[in-house]
Homo-oligomer: A and B are copies of this chain.
Amino acid sequence: MSRLFVRTLRDDPADAEVPSHRWLVRAGYIRRVAPGIYSWLPLGLKVLQKVETVVREEMVAMGAQEVHFPALLPREPFEATNRWSDYGANLFRLQDRRGNDMLLGPTHEEIFTLTVKDMYNSYKDLPLSLFQIQTKYRDEARPRAGVLRGREFVMKDSYSFDIDDEGLNASYQAHRDAYVRIFDRLGLEYVIVSAMAGAMGGSASEEFLAVAANGEDTFVRSPGGYAANVEAVRIAVPDALPIEDAPAIAVVDTPLASSIAAVVDLLNAEHAQDHPWTADQMLKNLVFLVTHPDGTSEPLAIGVPGDRGVDAKRLEAAFEPSVALPFTAEDFEKYPSLKVGFMGPVTATGEAVLGEESTSGIRYVVDPRVVTGTHWVSGANTVGQHLSGVTVGRDFTPDGVLDVADVREGDPAPDGSGPMQLARGIEMGHIFQLGRRYAEALGLKVLDRNGKLVTVTMGSYGVGVSRAVAAVAEATCDDKGLSWPLALAPYQVQILATGKDASVFEEADRIAAALSERGGLDVLVDDRKASPGVKFADGEILGMPIIVVVGRGLVDGVVEVRNRATGERREVAVADAVSAVLELAGR
């Protein structure tokens, strides 16, 4: 410890948002160089390397082959797949000395596809899974929480290549199984949730989320086992109702009521019915401008039940790489038929105002709950008026369905198993069935059994390796510092030699040597000239799972063995110290 390049800090870093970030910095595991860009100091690097080893072992065990591709990449392949523009500001772009456009790879689908195309040409060569553990770059708008969301980070990315869908399913499942083993070995509590494929394209996709109160991702779970990232939730869709049961349209004067709540209050006050009016009987209409990566844009109106809003993350995921932003006052000026606060699909006289075939011409999509035969209170497209009884399939027909409304704790699960729970997590792994998008864009074809050229189908799979260090720290740290599981700790044992007597230091070294020799353990001896208090506190901050105190007790022939995670302590005879530690370490 007296030679180790580490210093613990008394104060939290100013930008620390979550405990793992605070402790990794305070314990001297990582150091910030720029926003979202960190150095790994000796202790942090040891944990990172242990995570890498777990990931590498499991990838090799599933039959994937390791390669290492460059981080600095030419523009052309990313142009062919549109990712040069689709990635937007998240992509680090640069030019080399000859003015060639280049980028820092956010993931490597293109280059793997081209390399396989370059080398393989027959179905006999497949299936193939390649992986790398490599540094990735994304110019995040909001890098946060230390290495939890960085701009330079270590990722295991792998890619599978198959001749057909059945092969892709098998490769996907093999990765899924390997990921289960990886995250089990990392000791993380995690859930596997359905996910959106996002800018990656493709179809089936699942995320491995470490359950964490400070996680950036929200997910839902049902009693029956349904689990999905909130972006990917497909809500329970009610059955259509018979149109003939719907009431007629009626005009309701709502002179001052331009909010849902105000309309509900007014209805209950002036148009009381058997059951009180509630917000979920209202139709809330919102208008967005959807801007595409090529700079073109188009308006879009979304109708959702009045008790819900549009969830920003779900909306973002639905349109990625395009961006949907709420209409500004300026945007509204271009559509005089839209009356803010009083918008709706139709007027009192039955004229369509929202929809591709309407006076505004604005495409109109609705929440899945706005199903045929349901009737709603909606704006009348006249200031000061609403309409009741506006019925789907009779008074208007939406242009489509879009599932982006808020998801709430207690919403019915799509598997019908009951109310959904909401929780938060950290995305640790993501597996995608890419399908043929990349192979088609880049021309990766092989000869099939019949000598016919067919496009290869691909999968893409990622594990956040540096992020895993933070996720494990987040799951295991407490209010005193880090607390590593044995499998990932930089050292399994830290021996605190306290006091000034030379015998204390000698005994510490002797125990360390014995642990290393007999148990193959990595042992850190705190041999500094520092007070016992400093050593105790640093020991807790650094978080080695087993702490041995060799100090005052030594004159009585005892040392103390502590379990960092549980706080358990026991005194053991010096002669038994080594075996007590080996037992605790499971050796």
Contacts and interface: CB of A to CB of B under 8 A. Distances in A.
15 contacts: A3-B63, A4-B65, A5-B130, A34-B70, A34-B72, A34-B73, A34-B100, A34-B102, A40-B68, A41-B115, A45-B66, A45-B67, A72-B104, A72-B151, A93-B94
Contact of A119 (B28, B45, B67, B137): B28
A139 B96 contact: yes
A5 to B, nearest CB: 5
A90 B128 CA distance: 38
Given A39-B69, A40-B67, 8 more contacts: A4-B65, A7-B119, A42-B65, A72-B104, A72-B152, A92-B94, A93-B94, A97-B139
Contact of A72 (B5, B89, B90, B92): B92
Contacts of A118: 31
Stoichiometry (number of copies): 2
Contacts of A7: 119-120
Contacts of A488: none
Contact of A39 (B41, B92, B93, B111): B111
Contact of A135 (B34, B71, B111, B115): B71
Nearest to A46: B66
Interface string A77-106: 000000000000110111011001010100
A167 interface: no
A40 B67 CA distance: 6
A167 to B, nearest CB: 14
A45 B72 contact: no
Contacts of A70: 33-34, 37-39, 152
A141 interface: yes
Interface of A: 3-7, 28, 31, 33-34, 37-42, 45, 48, 63, 65-74, 89-90, 92-94, 96-97, 100, 102, 104, 111, 115, 118-120, 128, 130, 135, 137, 139, 141, 151-152
Nearest to A118: B31
Nearest to A76: B34
B115 A39 contact: yes
Contacts of A39: 67-70, 111, 115
Contacts of A6: 119
Residue with the greatest number of chain B CB neighbours at <10 A, chosen from A7, A33, A68, A94: A68
Given A40-B68, A72-B152, A96 B102 contact: no
Contacts of A48: 68
B102 A33 contact: no
B97 A69 contact: no
A93 B92 CA distance: 11
A494 to B, nearest CB: 17
A68 B147 CA distance: 13
B73 A33 contact: yes
A5 B119 contact: yes
A121 to B, nearest CB: 9
Nearest to A48: B68
A306 B416 CA distance: 95
Residue with the greatest number of chain B CB neighbours at <10 A, chosen from A4, A97, A115, A151: A97
Residue with the greatest number of chain B CB neighbours at <10 A, chosen from A3, A48, A65, A137: A65
Nearest to A103: B94
Contacts of A93: 94
Contacts of A73: 33-34, 37
B40 A137 contact: no
Nearest to A89: B97
Nearest to A108: B39
Given A31-B115, A128-B5, A135-B135, A71 B71 contact: yes
Contacts of A42: 65-67
A74 B33 contact: yes
A209 B93 CA distance: 36
A8 to B, nearest CB: 10
A128 B3 CA distance: 8
B94 A94 contact: yes
A66 B68 CA distance: 21
Contacts of A152: 70-72
A480 to B, nearest CB: 22
A115 B41 CA distance: 10
Contact of A69 (B33, B65, B89, B139): B33
A195 to B, nearest CB: 25
